């Protein structure tokens, strides 16, 4: 039986954003504040880890090993989850160690995660059997969770969340940020073509995400889902990149709408949604639901 201990889900709120751009366009703009669902394992990470943690415990693993960059919300959440479940954790971090550690990696280390740094070149081989075998040779037995937490267990958890969300509120469009595609694939599956799903890539050159998401969908269903697409123009320079305009936008949303955003994912999401509303990309009279995927711990990092 899966022992969640302190990993219990806290039901998050849905709030309407009274934004002049949306009002002018005749759009009802809702925010699902999934950043509120857990103090440390927040947003989509809770759902992506849920069945991975269950599988690790059922199979008797004592150690989790996963991958991520220096600002990874997934690294942060996995370290917290392992700590609370009494498991060991290892984070394979892309790039060289930089001291002092940023807030994300400092937190992960404080929760007992062993940080293992690999070069950016070597990191590209993270899915290769030989690379993973070297990790087993060095660290012994572990339950492997891919970068960003994205695998079939993660997609399953996100699909469950999507079905729950669909029963909770009526909406015509769902918008969410995309890094690896697992969350979006799960949302597409769980919503079962009842709404349009729009992903905002936080990566430069994010067009490859379409194939990634299609592959995840094919692992679960023979259905061809035509109700989704990826926007690739709102990355603001790439993953974990930002600029003064984006930071100013974050301040505006927090000050004027009491909506805290992180610079890696949700600020780019909201920027994109606002731009699409202004350009008439949503039907007048429709309801747009934006998924706040957490990651507010990223505000503590010096990007």
pLDDT digits (tens, 9 = 90+) for 71-90: 899 999 999 999 999 999 99
Taking 90 as the threshold, does the pLDDT of residue 298 lie above it?
no
Q: What is the pLDDT of residues 128-148, one digit of tens each?
A: 999 999 999 999 999 999 999
Domain limits, CATH 3.40.50.1100, in the chain: 14-43+151-300, 44-149
pLDDT score of 235 more than 50: yes
pLDDT of residue 6: 59
Instruction: Specify the fold of 14-43+151-300.
Output: Rossmann fold (3.40.50)
Alpha helices (runs of H) in 151-239, residue ranges in sequence order:
152-168, 182-191, 209-218
Confidence category of residue 223, pLDDT binned at 50, 70, 90? very high
User: Half-sphere exposure (CA, 13 Å, Cβ side) for 114?
Assistant: 12
pLDDT for the residue 300: 75
pLDDT of 237 strictly over 70: yes
On the question of pLDDT at 5 being above 60, the answer is no
Res. 228: pLDDT tops 70: yes
Alpha helix ranges (H) inside the chain: 20-25, 44-58, 73-85, 103-110, 120-123, 129-139, 152-168, 182-191, 209-218, 244-257, 266-278
pLDDT band at 170; cut points 50, 70, 90: very high
Would you place residue 2 in the very low, low, confident or very high pLDDT band (cuts 50, 70, 90)? very low
Q: pLDDT class for 302, splitting at 50, 70, 90?
A: low
Task: Give the confidence band of 1 by pLDDT, cuts at 50, 70, 90.
Answer: very low
The CATH number of 44-149 is 3.40.50.1100
Helix axes 152-168, 182-191, angle to 10 degrees: 50
Residue with tokens 């943690």: 53
| Whether the predicted pLDDT of 34 surpasses 50 | yes
Q: What percent of the chain is modeled with pLDDT above 70?
A: 97
Give the torsion sign (CA, 283, 284, 289, 292). positive
Specify the pTM. Answer: 0.93
């Amino acid at each position: 039986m899966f022992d969640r201990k302190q990993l219990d889900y806290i039901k998050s709120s849905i709030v309407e954003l009274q934004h002049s751009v949306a009002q002018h366009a005749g759009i009802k703009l809702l925010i699902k504040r999934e950043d509120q669902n857990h103090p440390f394992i927040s947003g989509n990470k809770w759902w992506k880890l849920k069945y991975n943690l269950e599988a690790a415990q059922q199979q008797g693993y004592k150690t989790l090993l996963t991958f991520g960059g220096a600002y990874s919300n997934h690294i942060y959440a996995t370290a917290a989850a392992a700590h609370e479940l009494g498991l060991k954790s290892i984070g394979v971090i892309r790039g060289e160690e930089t001291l002092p550690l940023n807030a994300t990696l400092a937190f992960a280390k404080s929760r007992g995660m062993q940080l293992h740094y690999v070069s950016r070149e070597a990191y590209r081989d993270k899915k290769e059997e030989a690379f993973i075998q070297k990790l087993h040779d060095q660290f012994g037995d572990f339950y492997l969770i891919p970068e960003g937490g994205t695998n079939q267990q993660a997609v399953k958890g996100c699909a469950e969340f999507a079905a729950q969300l669909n029963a909770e509120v009526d909406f015509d469009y769902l918008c969410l940020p995309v890094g690896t595609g697992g969350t979006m694939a799960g949302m597409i599956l769980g919503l079962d073509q009842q709404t349009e799903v729009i992903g905002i890539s936080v990566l430069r050159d994010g067009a490859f995400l379409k194939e990634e998401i299609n592959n995840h969908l094919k692992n679960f269903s023979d259905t061809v889902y035509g109700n989704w697409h990826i926007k690739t123009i709102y990355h603001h320079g790439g993953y974990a990149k930002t600029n003064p305009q984006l930071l100013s936008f974050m301040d505006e949303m927090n000050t004027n709408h009491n909506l805290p955003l992180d610079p890696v994912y949700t600020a780019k999401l909201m920027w994109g949604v606002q731009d699409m509303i202004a350009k008439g990309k949503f039907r007048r009279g429709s309801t747009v639901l934006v998924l706040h995927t957490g990651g507010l711990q990223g505000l503590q990092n010096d990007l």
